[in-house]
Amino acid sequence: MAWKMTAADRRRYKKLLLDKRQELCGDVDSMESQALRAADQDASVDHVADFGSDNYEQTLTLGLIENNGKLLQEIDAALERIADRSYGYCVHSGEAIAKARLDAIPWTPYSIETQRLIEQGELTIDDGE
C-alpha cells in the first residue's frame, strides 16, 4: 500500500533538500577555489611529475564539481516538485515513490521500478541534456 505524504512530510523533505543543497554549494565553491589555486600554481611547478599530479588533481576536482552541479539540478527539480505538490510521485510512471527510497535519496524523481528499468537499459529517459 502506498503511503500518503502529509504537509509535515513535505516540510521535512524540503528541509533535507535545502540542507543538502547548501552543503553542495559550499563544497562546489571550495572545490572551484582549490582548482583555481592549482591552475595558478601550475606555472611554478618545477618537476614534470609534480605537474602531472597537480593536473590529475585539478581534473578530478573539476569532475567532482560537474557531478555536484548535476546533483544540484536534481535537488532544485525536487524542490520544484514539492512546490507544485507532485513530489513523491515518479515523474515517469506517476506511481508513488516508496518512503524508504525518498528517505535515502530525497531528490530522486523515479520510483525504484522505473530506476531499475533505466539501469537495465529497458527504459530511456530524455532528461533534457
pLDDT value at position 60?
Answer: 62
Average pLDDT over residues 72-85: 96
28-54 residue pLDDT tens: 556 555 655 655 555 555 555 555 555
Instruction: Give the C-alpha separation, 106 to 87, whole Å.
Output: 10
Closest-CA residue to 61 (of 43, 42, 35, 37):
35
Domain(s) of CATH 1.20.120.910: residues in the chain: 7-87
Of the candidates 79, 80, 115, the residue with the CA atom closest to the CA atom of residue 95 = 115
CATH top class, domain 7-87: mainly alpha
Whole-prediction pTM: 0.70
Average pLDDT of the chain to the nearest whole number: 81
129 pLDDT band, cuts 50/70/90, is very low
Residue type for position 21: R
